[in-house]
Amino acid sequence: MKAILFDMDGVLLDSHDAWFDVLNSSLKKFGRKEITVERFDRDAWAQSFDTVAARFLPNEEVAEISKFYFSRFSDFVKKIKVNPEAKSVLQELKKKRIKTAIVSNSHRKIVELLLKSAGLHQFFDAIVGGDEVKRGKPAPDVAFEACRRLKVSAKDSIMVGDTVYDIESARSAGCLAIGFRIDADKRIENLSELLELC
């Protein structure tokens, strides 16, 4: 394998609580009722911004939602938890000269903010956000774009994710789908297990 494409949330770090708070803050701003964490997990978590905006704020201008949504995110960064294995695994991948990329449904500027706050930004050769492609996961667009930037083929790449959207995206692109604590072509329970596959 020449490259590893990582989903960010739920694999390298956990920003679930931050996104939950940002969405509820946005709903309150636009005069909507706040939602429960169960509803968030079912209808918003790991999905693209456009999907979430259309579902929860259907009559609002997307540009206005986006402006507020992302202006508030930095207020919630302190709630983000970093996978304790992330830094050491990424360092080992660099030593092995394996190319790495982030493939996320989150907007690029949010991805970069989170990676920098976690001290992981410098380990990636490419970052692809959901706002840089036509379709977010489960479509394969982010994987194809990451492979294009890394100058590798999808069939020579691993994609690691923790949701069905990640696995569907990887398979549609032709990558080997690695499930982080979820069933896929291969399943891993800890990030360090990736080193055995490279």
- For the chain (length 198 residues), average pLDDT per consecutive 10? 95 92 95 97 89 94 87 83 97 97 92 92 97 95 98 98 97 98 97 92
CATH number of the structural domain spanning residue 146: 3.40.50.1000
Q: Say yes or no: 92 and 104 in one domain.
A: yes
186 and 179 in contact (C-beta within 8 Å)? yes
175 and 142 in contact (C-beta within 8 Å)? no
Query: According to the model, what pLDDT value does residue 109 have?
Result: 87
Number of domains in the chain: 2
Which of 34, 56, 79 is the last residue in one of the domains? 79
pTM of the model: 0.85
Q: Say yes or no: 117 and 163 in one domain.
A: yes
Please give the structure tokens belonging to residue 85: 């294995």
Query: According to the model, what pLDDT value does residue 97 have?
Result: 96
Query: According to the model, what pLDDT value does residue 112 have?
Result: 93
Peptide bond into 84 cis (omega under 30): no
Structural domain range at position 123? 3-14+81-197
Q: Say yes or no: 45 and 31 in one domain.
A: yes
CA dist list (Å): 110 to 26, 54, 66, 73, 129: 16, 19, 11, 8, 9
Query: According to the model, what pLDDT value does residue 62 have?
Result: 86
Burial 59-81 (b: 16+ CB within 10 A, else e): ebeeeebbebbbebbeebeeebe
Query: According to the model, what pLDDT value does residue 27 have?
Result: 96
